[in-house]
Amino acid sequence: MPSRRRLLVGAAGIAGAVGTTVTAAALAGTEPILADNGEDADRADRADHTDRIEWPLARYDPAGTAHNPDASGPKSTPELAWRQDTASTMHGLTAPILVGDTLYGVGRDSLVAFDRDTGEIQFERSGSYWSTPARAEATAYRSDTLAVYSRTGVYGLSADGGYELLGRPIGTERWHAPGQDTSNWSSSSAREPSPVAADGTVYAVIPETDRVAALDASSGQQQWEHVIGKERSIGTNQPVVSDGTVYVSSTPGDLVAFDAETGTTRWQAHPAPREESNLQYREFQAPTVTDAGIVVPDRKGVALFDRADGSLVWDYFHDGNGTDGSAAVADGTVFVTDGTESLHAIGLETGEREWTAEYSPDTHPIVADGVVYLGYQMSELVAIDADTGDRRWTYEDAIYFSQPIAADGVLYVFGDEGLMALEEGS
């Protein structure tokens, strides 16, 4: 079978010879499929993804638990399985995702796909994308959509990458949901929280606004939109989704639940701040949804709220300075950093502290097979036992670490020199 490179060169040659334009869909192989003709092929393509452990969203699942119960990573001091540098810098604040045999990452000006076993680059496409991608099923295409933020809104990208012709990506961008053009992002590192995808819909905060929108993963068509809190407060966090409900929090202390399909507001709450915090409002971070309730960290602690009406269930006060983290939840325990000195393990049902471990940066922990993994820019990558709080290992062979993700015994993380795969040391 001819390679993609040969097909691309051939198509470009034909276009030049006859003076016609080759369409993105024709070159990229990402043209929409008809439901009656393409459904079987689409199902077969996606079946290939189920054979191996995946991490398809920044925080693993739409609920934001940051815990894959089937995944594992190195439990003792790891060694480098491979490292892959890229032509463009990947020095940002975004985590990779893992879908089937492919890892995806976003750098300052590109989307890059890597082979999960070797790190070999499958494709690299230029574009100003500014978040970890979110894999979403797109029924109108043979490959998934990757939803990602940019400085001008939300883009739906083809998971197979399309092609590059004369230095330009073709067939990569499927749709664009407009946002506010913020030119000062152009020289910044990728840093925005990722959109969230569930059941063929992308849920995203439109950049530089407090508008939360539901977008069709195939077309980008807006299904509904709401403003969280007051207009232009610019503090709405990454949404989470569970059992047909979307939950959104904001820095000014709003917590809202929407019907995922219709956008109808189920309830909204503005919990009072703690008296001991001396703050005017809770300064919420991104929520996590569990069967027990909605876990929402804030600057001075973390609280659990009832899923039915947003009422307070329990309130944990750590008196830290958490401004940019999130909570991971695994096996009945909440794991959250306080931004000052500790990682806290809190009982999900009780709100009582189980242990604390020394760890100062405020970040996004993940959990796999009884281990909490934490990475932070200009710091270290660490593994902490989820049951005891004991530090299992510290990895410092890079200047910079993104949030890691875990798979089948391997931890994937971006460093200052590219994407790294870490496995159990020999």
Residue 29 has pLDDT above 70, yes or no: no
Q: How far is CA 162 from the centre of its chain?
A: 22
**Tens digits of residue pLDDT in 243-285:** 999 999 998 999 999 999 999 999 999 999 888 878 888 999 9
pLDDT of residue 417: 77
Alpha-carbon distance 174 to 31, whole Å?
9
Give the highest mean pLDDT range of 20-29, 230-239, 287-296: 287-296
Please enumerate, as own/partner, the contacts of 311-317 that have beta carbons within 8 Å and a separation of 24 or more.
311/269, 312/271, 313/351, 314/350, 314/351, 315/274, 315/351, 316/344, 316/346, 316/351, 316/353, 317/274, 317/276, 317/277
**Tens digits of residue pLDDT in 172-197:** 999 998 765 544 433 444 445 689 99
Give the domain ranges of the chain: 4-424
Give Cβ neighbours of residue 61 (< 8 Å, ≥ 6 apart). Answer: 68
Higher pLDDT, 49 or 85: 85
Residue 204 has pLDDT above 80, yes or no: yes
Q: Describe the strand order of the beta sheet including 201-205 as a list of residue ranges.
A: 196-198, 201-205, 211-216, 222-227
Residue 239: which of 257, 220, 215 has the closest Cα?
257
pLDDT of residue 129: 87
Average per-residue pLDDT for the chain: 85
Cα distances (Å, whole numbers) of residue 284 to 217, 255, 256, 277: 28, 9, 12, 13
| Mean pLDDT (whole number) for 23-34 | 41
pLDDT of residue 345: 98
Cα distances (Å, whole numbers) of residue 346 to 96, 279, 354: 27, 23, 5
**Tens digits of residue pLDDT in 111-140:** 999 999 999 999 999 888 889 999 999 999
Hey, is 424 helix, strand or coil? strand
Alpha-carbon distance 233 to 252, whole Å?
8
Residue 159 has pLDDT above 50, yes or no: yes
Pick the CATH number of 4-424 from 3.40.50.300, 2.130.10.10, 3.40.50.20, 3.40.190.10: 2.130.10.10
Residue 28 has pLDDT above 50, yes or no: no
Lowest mean pLDDT among 35-44, 67-76, 345-354, 362-371: 35-44
Tokens of 300: 């001075």
pTM of the model: 0.87
pLDDT of residue 73: 98
pLDDT of residue 142: 93
Cα distances (Å, whole numbers) of residue 352 to 277, 302, 335, 386: 18, 11, 12, 15
**Tens digits of residue pLDDT in 274-300:** 888 788 889 999 999 999 999 999 999
Share of the chain above pLDDT 90, in %: 64
Helix%, strand%, coil% for the chain, nearest 5: 10, 40, 50
Please enumerate, as own/partner, the contacts of 251-256 that have beta carbons within 8 Å and a separation of 24 or more.
251/283, 251/284, 251/285, 252/281, 252/283, 253/281, 253/282, 253/283, 253/284, 253/298, 254/228, 254/229, 254/284, 255/284, 255/287, 255/294, 255/296, 255/305, 255/310, 256/226, 256/228
